[in-house]
Amino acid sequence: MGKYQFEICTNSVESCLAAQEGGADRVELCAGIPEGGTTPSYGEIAIAREVLTHTRLHVIIRPRGGDFLYSDIEIRTMLKDIEIARKLGADGVVFGCLTAEGEVDLPAMQKLMEAAQGLSVTFHRAFDVCRNPQKALEQIIKLGCNRILTSGQQPTAELGIPLLEELQKQATGRIILLAGCGVNENNIARIAAETGIYEFHFSARENIQSEMKFRNEAVSMGGTVHINEYARNVTSVRRVKETIESLHKRI
């Protein structure tokens, strides 16, 4: 294991395979990428576990898009999804809960942490919309999470460098900060150098055009939200390799 660790945000088994071939240490498997990532299906997790022979598999536990204020029934759903991820052989799970006031929801998190015992736990980018990141960092450490995925409360990790650097110093090795959102081959070395962070989360996706010959582009599967049904973004082996290499070349 080298100094740096690389996690690929994957939206399919196809992307998991590309991440593994490109040299990723682990993947975070998600559905619903346009919503920021939601829990993937049973089948997606099962097949990802089959094909990932030397790359760790983390599964996001997020029942819906939107905010991170969850009802009792949503917490029950998350608990069941953690149970399923464990049974299917996931190495870790990724979740985060907030209160209506923007604080870490400690009772909800404690329930989820108990269910996730033995798995690696990442507190996801709910952290980036919490009220007080310094306070939240201490609470998340106390909960026993292994890492926090964060962009430094900015739209991208590159813009969040000042807070990421501050939080890395505050953490003092007690928890791993995983820098994510907008990390790519052009900025990963700068983020590493200026923050001292050594784990990175990125998607390395490329746009793939559909092979459909017959197309009815007047119909959208999203109803009033128009999405190009004849293109999709998939993690690329080339971009995974280039992003990793762009950091290693600066060491």
Q: Where are the domains of the chain?
A: 5-248
Query: 0.85 cut: is pTM over it?
Result: yes
| 35 φψ region: left (φ > 0), alpha (ψ -120 to 50), beta (else) | alpha
Per-residue pLDDT of the chain (251 residues; tens, 9 = 90+): 458 999 999 999 999 999 999 999 999 999 998 889 999 999 999 999 999 999 999 999 999 999 999 999 999 999 999 999 999 999 999 999 999 999 999 999 999 999 999 999 999 999 999 999 999 999 999 999 999 999 999 999 999 999 999 999 999 999 999 999 999 999 999 999 999 999 999 999 999 999 999 999 888 777 666 778 898 899 999 999 999 999 988 76
- With 0-12 CB in 10 A as exposed, 13-18 as middle and 19+ as buried, what is 101? exposed
Provide the CATH topology of domain 5-248: TIM Barrel (3.20.20)
Beta bridge partners of 123: 95, 148
